[in-house]
């Protein structure tokens, strides 16, 4: 074994209180692979940050988990989602307060609204996926998942407002559906205005079915 | 403030800047002149100039470095990256990391002493201000210990005002990297309450700079810096570090007849100039930031004594022991090659991403892959284009490879405002009588901006040709 000159010149090092009392360099008791650690005093600023972290932890722990002073991240997300839902519900309520069969009939005679309804039907609303672009629910001879919207039959009620409600809320809970497939509530994806425009487009496309309103 | 207790000579057992009771021993390094000090100062000024200048230099219409978090566009030396490109930073950052390892294995803590922003600001800005206001090391020590007289208060006020001024300037430049100079000017004109978050960032960095450079100083390098903690595994006995030539210097000692003594006259100049408070004669220590101040200090003394310079010098452990030096070792290759791989991958990818716009094309989801009837076979594709330049750009999507009779239906020409992104859909239509089965497609994106023509591969899908024929005849 080669001896290291530098360590040979060090003063004797002792462990524990004996060394401390004698004013000698203190080593920690443990020893691994012949290596020992000095037991020197940590810098005060470092200890300060350490104690501050303990204080901060307690403050956060008490604040967040015991007193509920601060909202947690998931609470914040939940609150925001609830606010969005409330706004949507409010908008829907506001719309329903004024919307009736007559309004929908008026809208179905407005070419602009019908045009918007058609592009929603084909595009964002994805209605055409199940009911086909020509409303027959048949694409190239293959029947799709939805009911035909061009056969004059309105299974869940034929008022303009019934059509609106079916799109908005989906099939009634007790409905059997077509081959077991039921309409889902579209109000989660579309606004009330958009649903009303799609309804106007459907009324416009089936002029004979809604003559009485 | 730290209490000033009388210290013995620095030892290997204790950190000089921490007193027995854990309080701070505030260092006042002596002035030093020499080759390395001058070179380092000039190098530091150049680095500071680069730091301040980068947000002002426009390349391709944007500042040289502009991390536009608000728009999520990252402008680096004329290349604009979008979040979709950020994976290349893995190669860039790891490449730079290994390059740092490479330099460390070769030349020790060259980074810390010469290029680290912390050292550059501390040594070449804040310590210069302190030297200018408070005088040299003995004067500074005396002033620290002096009672609070009028002149001390005035000096402290001037010093900390200058510190504050510099800190706030540096913090504003820092913010400019994220919001650009014109926007920074605009924010400043509107006052702190118009943009409280940005103001908070500047305030935070000002306070941090003040705290670090006025008081914390070498404590960061000694105790907190992660790079400093890696030193002992990155270097070996062949790495060139700052070392004391024991063979020549020992036995050290004062005294006129030097027959039994080495060249070290034990003048402690190397200790007094050290910014981390170590004695380099104890060998390489974790506190050493490789600033070379002790080399200049010792060379000055050696020069005055008409002895050869270099008692303390840049040399490796084996070099100081007069053994054979080796530059080439396995770790040099490992770090060097890994660094090169990272940087080459980064520059190559960045070069390809350097186009003035981003395009992507994919098959529309949520619809059937194709629609076929008596008239035609149709495929729908979605396009995403992002303009990365500060000027409007005109695009045209064309088919460069397509089955016979194929046409692109939809609005193929688009205009995008600066930094605008647009998603749109186009259909590829093949008349049924010309349809000959699925085929390869290639879209090309032409624009009025200089740069490579971008091409993207897709495929045209459709039914079996005979099935389509039967379907049409059946109708």
For A53-78, letters b (16+ CB in 10 Å) and e give: eeeeeeeeeeeeeeeeeeeeeeeeee
Residue B293, pLDDT score: 96
Q: Tell me: the pLDDT tens digits for B201-217?
A: 999 999 999 999 999 99
Q: Check if the beta carbon of residue A211 is closer than 8 Å to that of residue A160.
A: no
Q: Tell me: the pLDDT tens digits for B23-33?
A: 899 999 999 99
Distance CA B294, CA B276 (A): 11
| pLDDT confidence bin for B451, thresholds 50/70/90 | low
SS (H, E, C) chain A: CCCCHHHHCCCCCEEHHHHHHHCCCEECCCCECCECCECCCCCHHHHHHHHHHHHHHHHHHHHHHHCCCCCCHHHHHHHHHHHHHHHHHHHHHHHHHHCCHHHHHHHHCCHHHHHHHHHHHHCCCCCHHHHCCCCCCEECCEECCCCCCCCCCCCCCCCHHHHHHHHHHCCCCCCCCECCECCCCHHHCCCHHHHHHHHHHHHHHCHHHHCCC
Average pLDDT, chain B: 89
**pLDDT at residue B459 greater than cutoff 50:** yes
Distance CA B225, CA B217 (A): 12
Residue A21, pLDDT score: 64
* In chain A, residues 65-104 whose CB comes closer than 8 Å to chain B: none
For the segment B393-406, the average pLDDT, to the nearest whole number, is 88
Residue A17, pLDDT score: 58
For the segment B50-69, the average pLDDT, to the nearest whole number, is 91
> Percent of chain B having pLDDT more than 70?
97
Q: Tell me: the pLDDT tens digits for A29-73?
A: 788 888 888 888 889 999 999 999 999 999 999 988 888 787 778
Residue B5, pLDDT score: 41
Q: Using an 8 Å CB-CB cutoff, list chain A residues near B2.
A: none
Chain B residue with CA closest to A38: the answer is B13
* Structure letter (DSSP) for residue B22: S
For an interface test with B, the pick among A4, A13, A25, A43 (most B C-beta atoms closer than 10 Å) comes out as A43
Q: Which of A38, A46, A140 sits opposite B13 (nearest CB)?
A: A38
**How far is A26 from chain B, CA to nearest CA, in Å?**
10
> Percent of chain B having pLDDT more than 90?
55
Q: Cα separations (Å) of B332 from B51, B113, B290, B313, B380? A: 30, 21, 20, 22, 54
Residue B364, pLDDT score: 79
Residue A2, pLDDT score: 46
Distance CA B310, CA B297 (A): 10
**How far is B217 from chain A, CA to nearest CA, in Å?**
13
| pLDDT confidence bin for A78, thresholds 50/70/90 | very high
* Structure letter (DSSP) for residue B375: S
Higher pLDDT among residues B447 and B157, named by residue: B157
**pLDDT at residue A14 greater than cutoff 60:** no
Residue A5, pLDDT score: 47
Chain A residue with CA closest to B368: the answer is A129
Burial of B30 from C-beta contacts in 10 A (0-12 / 13-18 / 19+): middle
- Judged by a CB distance cut-off of 8 A, whether residue A46 touches chain B is yes
If one counts every other C-beta atom within 10 angstroms of the C-beta of residue A120, the result is 19
* In chain A, residues 141-160 whose CB comes closer than 8 Å to chain B: none
H or E segment and range at residue B383? strand B376-387
**How far is A118 from chain B, CA to nearest CA, in Å?**
18
- Judged by a CB distance cut-off of 8 A, whether residue A35 touches chain B is no
Distance CA B14, CA A11 (A): 13
Distance CA B371, CA B367 (A): 9
For the segment B91-110, the average pLDDT, to the nearest whole number, is 93
For the segment B156-167, the average pLDDT, to the nearest whole number, is 97
* Structure letter (DSSP) for residue B124: I
| pLDDT confidence bin for A152, thresholds 50/70/90 | confident
Distance CA A80, CA A42 (A): 46
Distance CA B60, CA B65 (A): 11
Q: Which of A25, A46, A129 sits opposite B13 (nearest CB)?
A: A25
For an interface test with A, the pick among B13, B217, B243, B423 (most A C-beta atoms closer than 10 Å) comes out as B13
ipTM: 0.72
Interface of B with A (CB under 8 A): 12-15, 18, 20-24, 216, 219, 223, 282-283, 366-367, 371-373, 471
Mark yes or no for CB contact A41/B372 under 8 Å: no
Residue B89, pLDDT score: 86
Distance CA A36, CA A7 (A): 13
Residue A9, pLDDT score: 45
| pLDDT confidence bin for A20, thresholds 50/70/90 | low
| pLDDT confidence bin for B466, thresholds 50/70/90 | confident
Higher pLDDT among residues B356 and B196, named by residue: B196
Residue B3, pLDDT score: 39
* Structure letter (DSSP) for residue B164: H
Distance CA B311, CA B316 (A): 13
| pLDDT confidence bin for B380, thresholds 50/70/90 | confident
**How far is B210 from chain A, CA to nearest CA, in Å?**
16
Q: Tell me: the pLDDT tens digits for B298-353?
A: 999 999 999 999 999 999 999 999 999 988 999 999 999 999 999 999 888 877 76
């Amino acid at each position: 074994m080669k001896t290291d000159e530098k360590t040979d010149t060090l003063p004797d090092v002792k462990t524990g209180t004996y060394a401390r009392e004698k004013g000698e360099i203190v080593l920690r008791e443990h020893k691994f692979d012949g290596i020992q650690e000095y037991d020197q005093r940590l810098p005060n600023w470092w200890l300060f940050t350490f104690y501050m972290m303990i204080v901060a932890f307690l403050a956060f722990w008490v604040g967040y988990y015991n007193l509920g002073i601060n909202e947690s991240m998931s609470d914040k997300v939940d609150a925001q989602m609830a606010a969005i839902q409330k706004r949507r519900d409010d908008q829907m309520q506001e719309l329903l307060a004024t919307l009736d069969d007559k309004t929908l009939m008026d809208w179905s005679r407005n070419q602009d609204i019908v045009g918007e309804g058609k592009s929603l039907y084909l595009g964002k609303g994805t209605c055409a996926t199940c009911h086909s672009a020509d409303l027959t629910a048949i694409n190239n001879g293959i029947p799709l998942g939805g009911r035909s919207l061009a056969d004059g039959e309105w299974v869940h009620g034929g008022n303009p407002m019934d059509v609106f409600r079916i799109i908005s809320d989906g099939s009634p809970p007790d409905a059997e559906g077509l081959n077991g497939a039921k309409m889902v509530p579209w109000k989660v994806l579309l606004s009330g205005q958009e649903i009303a425009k799609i309804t106007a487009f459907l009324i416009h496309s089936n002029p004979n079915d809604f003559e009485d309103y | 403030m730290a209490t000033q207790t009388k210290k013995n000579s620095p030892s290997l057992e204790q950190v000089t800047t921490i007193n027995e009771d854990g309080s701070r021993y505030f260092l006042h390094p002596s002035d030093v002149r020499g080759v390395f000090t001058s070179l380092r100062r000039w190098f530091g000024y150049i680095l500071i100039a680069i730091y301040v200048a980068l947000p002002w230099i426009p390349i391709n219409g944007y500042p040289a470095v502009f991390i536009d978090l608000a728009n999520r566009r990252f402008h680096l030396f004329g290349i604009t990256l979008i979040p979709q490109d950020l994976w290349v930073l893995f190669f860039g950052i790891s490449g730079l990391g290994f390059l740092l390892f490479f330099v460390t294995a070769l030349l020790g803590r060259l980074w810390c002493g010469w290029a680290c922003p912390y050292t550059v600001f501390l040594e070449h800005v804040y310590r210069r201000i302190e030297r200018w206001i408070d005088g040299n090391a003995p004067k500074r020590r005396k002033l620290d210990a002096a009672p609070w007289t009028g002149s001390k208060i005035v000096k402290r006020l001037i010093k900390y005002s200058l510190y504050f001024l510099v800190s706030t300037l540096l913090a504003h430049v820092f913010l400019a990297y994220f919001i650009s100079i014109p926007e920074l000017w605009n924010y400043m004109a509107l006052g702190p309450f118009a943009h409280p978050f940005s103001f908070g960032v500047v305030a935070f960095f000002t306070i941090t700079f003040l705290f670090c450079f006025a008081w914390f100083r070498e404590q960061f390098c000694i105790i907190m810096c992660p790079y400093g903690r890696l030193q002992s595994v990155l270097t070996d006995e062949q790495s060139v570090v700052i070392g004391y030539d024991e063979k020549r210097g020992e036995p050290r000692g004062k005294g006129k007849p030097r027959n039994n003594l080495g060249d070290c006259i034990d003048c402690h100049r190397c200790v007094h100039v050290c910014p981390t408070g170590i004695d380099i004669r104890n060998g390489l220590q974790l506190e050493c930031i490789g600033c070379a101040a002790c080399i200049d200090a010792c060379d000055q003394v050696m020069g005055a004594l008409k002895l050869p310079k270099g008692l303390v010098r840049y040399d490796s452990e084996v070099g100081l022991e007069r053994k054979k030096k080796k530059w080439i070792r396995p770790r040099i290759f490992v770090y060097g090659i890994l660094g090169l791989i990272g940087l080459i991958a980064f520059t190559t990818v960045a070069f390809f991403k350097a186009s003035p716009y981003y395009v992507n094309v994919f098959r529309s989801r949520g619809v059937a892959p194709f629609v076929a009837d008596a008239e035609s076979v149709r495929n729908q594709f979605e396009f995403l284009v992002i303009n990365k330049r500060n000027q409007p750009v005109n695009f045209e999507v064309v088919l460069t490879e397509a089955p016979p009779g194929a046409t692109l239906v939809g609005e193929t020409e688009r205009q995008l405002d600066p930094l605008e992104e647009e998603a749109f859909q186009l259909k590829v239509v093949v008349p049924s009588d010309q349809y000959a089965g699925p085929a390869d497609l290639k879209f090309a994106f032409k624009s009025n901006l200089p740069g490579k023509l971008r091409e993207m591969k897709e495929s045209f899908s459709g039914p079996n040709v005979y099935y389509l024929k039967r379907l049409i005849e059946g109708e």
